[in-house]
Amino acid sequence: MAGLKLVCLHCAQTNRVPEEKLRSGAKCGTCGVALISGKAVEIDAATFAKAARTDEVPLLVDFWAPWCGPCRMMAPEFSKAAGQLKGLVRLAKVNTQDHQQVSQKQGIRGIPTMIGYVKGREKGRQAGAMQAAQIEAFAAQTFRR
């Protein structure tokens, strides 16, 4: 089958999306939610694991927690970057307070930390709060082909 594998960040179903549809509103075949929303989507540990393992479109994840001041400062910047990177990179957030095992598995020592994944491989990581422009630059560098 043609198309890029993309896990729905809402229901965790794997979809296949033709490349030309990435920018034009592809929807999940199971739940009907937009696969490419241009928003930073909050996901749980199971959805994260599946998306990081499966996605053939770059996935950039912000690991954060509610008690972390710099994380909260970065949140609007990460959302802004999600809009700018729409169709190129999907941005998601994992709350490491609710999903502590994810931090352990990913070897995250401090938050916020961003990690980029494609096809089950970590392509790069960056710790510390960043501005939207810096997040976009990090994504461009991390996912350069």
Which residues are part of the catalytic machinery? 68, 71
Q: How far is the CB of 9 from Zn ion (least distance, A)?
A: 8
Neighbours of 46 (CB within 10 A): 11
φ and ψ of 76, to 5 deg: -65, -30
- What order of strands is seen across the sheet that includes strand 121-127? 41-42, 90-95, 59-64, 113-118, 121-127
The three-class DSSP label of residue 145 is coil
Binding region for Zn ion (CB under 5 A) out of 1-9, 55-63, 67-75, 114-122: 1-9
- Verify binding: residue 92, Zn ion, rule CB under 5 A: no
* CA dist., res. 13 & res. 40, Å (int): 18
Q: Which is nearer to Zn ion, 50 or 80 (CB)?
A: 50
- Verify binding: residue 11, Zn ion, rule CB under 5 A: yes
Residue selected from 16, 31, 107, 141 as contacting Zn ion according to rule CB under 5 A: 31
- Verify binding: residue 17, Zn ion, rule CB under 5 A: no
Q: How far is the CB of 15 from Zn ion (least distance, A)?
A: 7
Q: Which is nearer to Zn ion, 30 or 104 (CB)?
A: 30
User: Is the CB of residue 43 less than 8 Å from the CB of residue 11?
Assistant: no
Positions that interact with Zn ion (CB under 5 A)? 8, 10-11, 13, 28, 30-31
